[in-house]
Amino acid sequence: MSGLGRSRFLQVLTDAAIVALSWFLAFELRFDHGLPVYYDTLFRRTILLVVVIKTAVFLLFGFHRRWWRYVSVHDMWSAARGVIVASLVADVTVYFASPVHNVRLPRSIAVTDLLLTLALVAGARLLARTVMERPRNGVVARGKEVIVVGAGDAGRLIVQEMQRSRMLAYTPIGFVDDDERKRNTRILGVRVLGTMAELPRIVREFKPDEVLIAIPSASGETRRMVVEAAQAAHVPVKTLPGLYELIAGDLDLAGQIRPVTVEDVLGREQVEVDFEHVAGYLKGQTVLVTGAGGSIGSELCRQIARVGPQRLILVDNAETALFDIERELVDERDFTPAVPKLLDVRDRSALRREVFEKYHPTVVFHAAAYKHVPLMETHPLQSVRNNVVGTRSVAELSAEFEVERFVLISTDKAVNPKTVMGQSKALCEWIVESFGHRRDVPTRFVAVRFGNVLNSSGSVIPTFRRQIERGGPVTVTHPEMTRFFMTIPEAVSLVVQAGAIGGRGQIFVLDMGEPVRIVDLATNMVRLSGHVPRLPGEDATAADDIRVVFTGSRPGEKIHEELWSDDEAVGETEHPKIKRLSRPPVDEAWLTQQLLELEALAAEGDTLEVVAKLGAIVREPVRESPGGEVPRTDASVEPSVQRRQQ
């Protein structure tokens, strides 16, 4: 018999013994001067029947499936219902089918038996839990002394696990909670020391080894307050994820407790999407992800694989990145329908032959793009070829092969773009909008606009982290520069949601709240690493200071990014944090002509002409008029292109 089976057998056996003992005591208490002969006969002839009936009812109520070590209030109510039903069934059976002629079961015995059974069943479970959680050698899990911020459900759960698990090696010495009613009360024997506002004093007075944030719904501002209070006393801070993650992780709290990250202190709540619900349209489909080895593309592949597509085609031109995500899906996640394709999205014939003709994808997520602004400023030809030509190739093939849904990954830098990368992504959005408004194309084309994605490859977070590890300085371009930030899971949720709700030719954007100052992001990262940030003009205060220096804005770089432009109407969707943008579509014939000319310049390798042409297209787009007529003049064509056409 396995350990689990033996444990359940012992639980059933204990419950049977409790039933027998309660039945015996009910008779003894009713007749404290000795059982009359006929009631003694009734007792002896019914005890086995009562044990069988009640034990069977207990099994039906699932008593054996509840581990006594983790018995809860909910389990107690369930046990009470089971005991009441079992007692009623047993008492009615004995009363109407009495094995002793003309002797009925007294009601007083039935009531006493019910109360005794209920008390002993509950008591046995509480006793078992108490014994299993008893302190060892007077001290539980002696190790780091920790103050727990939050005396709610999560706080109680983590303290309870600390008290019964030596593996965590934590000793809770106090709670901090803003509920004044809890002040100086004890929860699981641990005192509530005060409120959040008193945390600086509490940390100085009690000198814990760590502070643990156990408030799953805490805002970034709250977490930042805790971090600042703790680090002022040079005490490290850790945090718990949400309760649902703890439960899903089988209470592996040793692995769930982690250091506070910059994502935790961004100052806004992360946007939650019911992924399993919105991603249902991917189940059983053939899904293509371009740029599958990138930060967004690889996370898309991980999340899509959870839904159960029939096939997931991974396209990337980076060999190592493609190999890594394919091996992760197959080896670590046991997702065998992953098909890696080492292809360049600019290679239209290879895409047609190796992907669309062979697999006929039904959903396309186009994440392949060059995104690093400074690098694209010095490589405009590659930006146009990869971003514009690549997007046009994938979009045209998707329309030709009648893909059901096409989702483009765009960026807030496509709004009023000032850089080559932003201008190229603006053209990508126009391409998607143009295909989305074509009546002869059944594919639902949509685009999703991101802010900066935290911890994506090449983002500011890894850069700051490397600079901090080297001891600084941390370089920020401008003291007032702000950006919108989102996490990779948020980005992927937005992409998948857009594919679910998107209409034809629409653009979606996440309402990311207030933008974050880059210098605040940098100083928060320095603090979280255990150092003291020192801004220009500030005097050194400690040996572990890390300087923050301003290097000046780069060419074309905006101080403040925008999520939408003035000519875009913002509408609501079924998700309160996802906005739908609409604007007059760019004229299809004009856009096609401009793209052909731009691609010709890129093919010739004329960098200056490409930059000029790209800027001219984005500055003066020709959009469809309400009547459908679009004015055209030779001025819409660059002089250099006119000369080539002549």
Model pLDDT for residues 25-68, shown as the tens digit of each residue: 888 887 766 777 777 788 788 888 888 888 888 888 877 666 56
Greater confidence (163 vs 211) lies with 211
pTM flag (> 0.75): no
Q: Looking at the domain assignment, is residue 265 inside a domain?
A: no
Instruction: Report if residue 364 sits inside a domain.
Output: yes
Residue with the bigger pLDDT between 544 and 315: it is: 315
Distance CA 436, CA 444 (A): 6
Q: Which residue has the tokens 């194309």?
A: 441
Query: What is the predicted pLDDT for the residue at 458?
Result: 64
Same domain, yes or no, for 430 and 521? yes
Comparison of pLDDT for 191 and 244, the residue scoring more: 191
Confidence (pLDDT) at 253: 53
Whether residue 156 sits in one domain with residue 69: no
Half-sphere exposure of 599 (CA within 13 A, CB side): 16
Q: Are 407 and 432 in contact (CB under 8 A)?
A: no
- Tell me whether residue 599 is exposed, middle or buried, using C-beta atoms within 10 angstroms of its C-beta: 0 to 12, 13 to 18, 19 or more: middle
Q: What is the mean pLDDT of the chain?
A: 81
Q: What is the pLDDT of residue 263?
A: 67
pLDDT digits (tens, 9 = 90+) for 98-145: 776 666 788 888 888 889 888 888 888 778 767 765 554 444 445 788
pLDDT at 14 over 70: yes
Return d(Cα 365, Cα 422) in angstroms, integer: 20
**In 140-207, which ranges are E strands?**
144-149, 170-176, 186-187, 190-194
Query: Cβ distance 489 to 510 under 8 Å?
Result: no
For 510-536, what is each residue's pLDDT tens digit? 777 778 888 888 888 887 777 888 888
Nearest-angstrom CA–CA distance, 465 and 262:
11
User: What pLDDT is stored for residue 429 in this prediction?
Assistant: 93
Whether the per-residue pLDDT at 383 is higher than 50: the answer is: yes
Which of 132, 156, 188 is the C-terminal boundary of a domain? Answer: 132
Residue 554 has pLDDT above 90, yes or no: no
Residue 379 C-alpha from the chain's centroid:
35
232 in the same domain as 166: yes
**CA nearest to 368, candidates 405, 331, 341:** 341
- By CB neighbour count within 10 A (0-12 exposed, 13-18 middle, 19+ buried), where does 226 fall? buried
Tell me how far apart the alpha carbons of residues 235 and 238 are, in angstroms, rounded to a whole number. Answer: 10
Evaluate if residue 327 carries a pLDDT over 50: yes
d(CA 202, CA 175): 10
Residues 508 and 367 in one domain: yes
Q: In total, how many domains does the chain have?
A: 4
Omega prior to 626 cis, within 30 of 0? no
We report the CATH number of the domain holding residue 248 as 3.40.50.720
Q: Are residues 40 and 56 in the same domain?
A: yes
Please indicate, yes or no, whether residues 303 and 224 belong to a single structural domain of this protein.
no
The CA-based diameter of the chain, rounded to the nearest angstrom, is: 123
How high is the pLDDT of residue 400?
A: 94
**Signed CA dihedral, 247, 249, 250, 255: sign only:** negative
How far is 173 from 195, CA to CA, in rounded Å? Answer: 15
Position 97 pLDDT exceeds 60: yes
Is residue 161 pLDDT above 60, yes or no? yes
Count of C-beta atoms within a 10 Å radius of residue 628: 7
Range of the domain at 441: 275-582
| Residue 609 sits in the same domain as residue 533 | no
d(C-alpha 396, C-alpha 445), whole Å: 11
Residues 462 and 371 in one domain: yes
- 102: burial class by Cβ within 10 Å (0-12, 13-18, 19+)? exposed
Is residue 129 within 8 Å of 68, Cβ to Cβ? yes
- The amino acid at residue 150 is G
Question: How many CA within 13 A on the CB side of residue 500?
Answer: 22
Same domain as 603, residue 575:
no
3-state secondary structure of 519: helix
Give the end of a domain, one of 132, 161, 178. Answer: 132
- Each residue's pLDDT tens digit, 588-621: 899 999 999 999 999 998 899 999 999 999 988 8
Tell me, what's the pLDDT at 325? Answer: 94
**Residue 73: half-sphere exposure toward Cβ, Cα within 13 Å:** 0
Q: Assess if residue 268 is contained within a domain.
A: no
- Extended strands (E) in 331-404: 338-342, 363-366
Q: Do 348 and 448 belong to one domain? A: yes
Q: What percent of the chain has pLDDT over 70?
A: 84
Last residue of a domain, one of 260, 289, 304: 260
Q: Same domain for 403 and 291?
A: yes
Share of the chain above pLDDT 90, in %: 26
Would you say residue 399 lies in a domain? yes
Q: Is the pLDDT of residue 347 over 80?
A: yes
Query: Are residues 388 and 296 part of one domain?
Result: yes
Mean pLDDT calculated for residue range 546-555? 85
What are 411's strand-pairing partners?
450
Please report whether residue 355 resides in a domain.
yes
- DSSP H helices, 379-517, are 380-383, 390-400, 420-436, 460-469, 488-501
Kindly state whether residue 243 falls inside one of the protein's structural domains.
Answer: yes
In a domain, 199, yes or no: yes
270 in any annotated domain: no
